Amino acid sequence: MISVGIVGGTGYTGSELLRLLVRHPCIALRAVTSRAEAGTAIAEHYTALRGLTDLSFSAPEAARLAECDLVFFATPNGTAMQEASQLLDSGVRVIDLAADFRLKDVELWQRWYGQTHAAPALVDEAVYGLPELNRRAIAGARLVANPGCYPTAVTLGLLPLLEAGVVDANRVIADVKSGVSGAGRKASTALLMAECGESFKAYSVSGHRHQPEIQENLKRALGMDVGLTFVPHLLPMVRGIEATLYATRLQPDHELAETDLTALYQKRYQDEPFVDVLPSATSVETRSVRGTNLCRVAVTEPQGAGVVVVQSVIDNLVKGAAGQAVQNMNIMFGWEETTGLALSALAP
């Protein structure tokens, strides 16, 4: 049994971590922080957790967090990088759900995130926490950079195709839609029901900070640059990401049929407990993964016209954040990777 802390327990990913961790058999929660709710019983703030924890939120005090074996940061970008060094020096392992340690190029990070990196010396050591790409490195890590939600859906959707070299890696399109919980719990006019309800829009079309993250992932996997156009959209729903991915077949008249493409995905993910490959004609729905740590994918080549279309869905708060963080914890501590993550979808 290890003791675990969560910094940022009142945010959407922090509360999702709580939902998963109160039932995890190998951990005991020691500290869950919120500056605004310090002193409030967690089960009073989240009545869904009544009977499952006696803990109260506390202020983020370094001394208390240093008593943990592992601390999750479910905080805005730029928070974990201020505290990670001290915690690591105290023997605490860290998983950051934010972006502080995701990009290996510090200059690039500073440009996209608009701040000076406070712990550049830790960036090299940090392990990018996408188990399907990096499992072995995660197992020995002290510091894990949990992937972004869009990068999880897009990277898992594209990996088998690009690794097999059957599509043009210079021109891949990711048309991706997210529910509003992806933007976090903080108040914002653009996220009011009357602003984003019954409407649908693309945003950050000229560039989004998840683009370099996806490109670093694909380069890590392939050893070469991938030309990617990534456009995120805001959907008037709470949870879920759907990525529709387009890539051009290198040899349109090649014999590789749709069933072979599906077989390619099945083979790549056959040992992955959290990637489910569906038959090619399936419409993959976000509600089929709502509340679960699954990524569901289907691959098809409409009318054999030379363009491969991949659908990839995740729950942004689970496989896109808290669930993946728990998966990483399980790997780091040598437990069965699925521990605490046998979750059924909340559909409808």
Ligand X SMILES: CC(=O)N[C@@H](CCC(=O)OP(=O)(O)O)C(=O)O
Ligand Y SMILES: NC(=O)C1=CN([C@@H]2O[C@H](COP(=O)(O)OP(=O)(O)OC[C@H]3O[C@@H](n4cnc5c(N)ncnc54)[C@H](OP(=O)(O)O)[C@@H]3O)[C@@H](O)[C@H]2O)C=CC1
Contact residues: ligand X, CB under 6 A: 77, 98-99, 148-149, 178, 182-183, 209-210, 232, 234
CA distance 17 to 292: 12
14 binds, among ligand X, ligand Y, none (CB under 5 to 8 A by kind): ligand Y
- In the complex, the smallest distance separating the C-beta of residue 31 from ligand Y, rounded to whole angstroms, is 12
Contact range with ligand Y by CB under 6 A, out of 131-139, 182-190, 261-269, 282-290: 182-190
Site pattern 130..149 for ligand Y (x: CB under 6 A): ------------------xx
Does 182 engage in binding with ligand Y (CB under 6 A)? yes
Does 291 engage in binding with ligand Y (CB under 6 A)? no
CA distance 40 to 23: 21
Whether residue 348 has a cis bond before it, omega within 30° of 0? yes
- In the complex, the smallest distance separating the C-beta of residue 324 from ligand X, rounded to whole angstroms, is 12
Does 293 engage in binding with ligand Y (CB under 6 A)? no
232 binds, among ligand X, ligand Y, none (CB under 5 to 8 A by kind): ligand X
Contact range with ligand Y by CB under 6 A, out of 161-169, 184-192, 253-261, 274-282: 184-192
149 is catalytic: yes
Site pattern 9..28 for ligand Y (x: CB under 6 A): xxxxxx--------------
CA distance 4 to 17: 11
- In the complex, the smallest distance separating the C-beta of residue 270 from ligand Y, rounded to whole angstroms, is 27
239 vs 249, beta carbon nearer ligand Y: 239
- In the complex, the smallest distance separating the C-beta of residue 330 from ligand X, rounded to whole angstroms, is 21
By CB under 6 A, how many residues form the interface with ligand Y? 31
If we measure between CA atoms, which residue out of 264, 270, 249, 234 comes closest to residue 150? 234
* Lookup result for tokens 């399109």: 173
Site pattern 81..100 for ligand Y (x: CB under 6 A): ----------------xx--
- DSSP code, position 279: P
Residues β-bridged to residue 41: 56
Sheet with strand 127-128: strands edge to edge:
27-33, 2-7, 70-73, 93-96, 143-145, 127-128
Instruction: Please state the separation of Cα 51 from the chain's center in Å.
Output: 29
3, 77, 282, 338: residue in contact with ligand Y (rule CB under 6 A): 77
DSSP calls for 108-150:
HHHHHHTS--S-HHHHTT-EE--HHHHHHHHHT-SEEEPPPHH
Beta strand extents in the chain (DSSP E only): 2-7, 27-33, 70-73, 93-96, 127-128, 143-145, 167-178, 201-202, 228-234, 241-249, 275-277, 295-300, 307-314
- Which residues bind to ligand Y, rule: CB under 6 A? 7-14, 34-37, 60, 74-77, 79, 97-98, 148-149, 181-182, 184-186, 316-317, 320-321
List residues with catalytic annotation: 149
